[in-house]
Amino acid sequence: MQPLLIDLSGKTALVTGASGELGRVMAMTLARSGADVAIHYFQNQAKAQELCEKIKALGRRAFVVQADATCPESVKAMQVKIIAEFGCIDLLILNAVKQYIWKPLLEQDPMDYLGQFESTVMQTVHLTQAFVPAMIAKGQGRVIGINTECTMQCLPTQSAYVAGKRGMDGVLRVLAREVGPSSITVNQVAPGWTVSDKDRTQHSERNEGYEQGVPLRRRGTDQEVANVVAFLASDLASFITGAYIPVSGGNVMPTV
């Protein structure tokens, strides 16, 4: 029996927050695996358009779409544009998130908690309600949420971020049970503190204090995270659902 390869030919993907550091690498990795990609952005149109041209240069279809992922009307308008361009989506990658300055709980603005909830939990609700029904009708699909190792760590100053990501985790685990009978898998990738192009430009890839707590003694890279996303999007992961998979070098380890 020949080993299966990651082949996403004929698949269409939507990556939210695709103009961001990790989003760009995930979108390119899916495209290199054969998928056509809808590139969502909220503010950074220039980066999204640059990414679009790179994906098209690979011979894949790609287009850029703007939306506020926390707003149901904006998501609906995005859905209409994507359906007109691609038809249904096979792979939904929930990556967009608002970022706030982390502070001790007693100092964190309560509105930051609402913002994190909107960009994690409500993004998940709006996007899945918009795109998963077509997956159900087709009898196949992949939903992949980008979570974080912080969800397990619960360290000081992480409370707003963790609150939102833990809520996202609960929604996606319930969704996995609800859409499993339609052969749709729902999983989460949880990066550690990941090296991105921003780090490479600033030469800030190393952080010995953090690395000493990681069994593999280094930070992971954006490409290593994207590789796991591509795996979960492929037929290689056809019997994996409801999983929270850390890509953290062992910095967090779910236990039984």
Q: pLDDT of 126-156, one tens digit each?
A: 999 999 999 999 999 999 999 999 999 999 9
What is the assigned CATH class of domain 12-247? alpha beta
- 177-181's contacts with Cβ under 8 Å and 24+ in sequence apart are 177/242, 179/132, 179/135, 179/136, 179/141, 179/143, 180/241, 180/242
Q: How many CA atoms lie within 13 A of 256 on its CB side?
A: 0
For 59-88, what is the mean pLDDT?
Answer: 96
Q: Break the chain into its structural domains and give their ranges.
A: 12-247
What confidence score (pLDDT) does residue 154 get?
97
Q: Higher pLDDT residue, 157 or 4?
A: 157
Residue 1 pLDDT > 80, yes or no? no
C-alpha 134: how far from chain center: 20
Share of the chain above pLDDT 70, in %: 98
| 58 to 10, 32, 226: CA distances (angstroms) | 14, 7, 17
Q: pLDDT of 233-247, one tens digit each?
A: 999 999 999 999 999
What confidence score (pLDDT) does residue 16 get?
98
Averaged pLDDT of the chain? 96
Q: DSSP assignment, residue 67?
A: -
What confidence score (pLDDT) does residue 238 get?
97
Residue 9 pLDDT > 80, yes or no? yes
Residue 2 pLDDT > 80, yes or no? no
Q: Could you tell me the pLDDT band of residue 256, with boundaries at 50, 70 and 90?
A: confident
pTM of the model: 0.96
Angle at 67 between CA 61 and CA 70, to 5 degrees: 130
| Sign of the Cα pseudo-torsion (47, 244, 78, 73, in order) | negative
What confidence score (pLDDT) does residue 86 get?
94
- The catalytic residues are 161
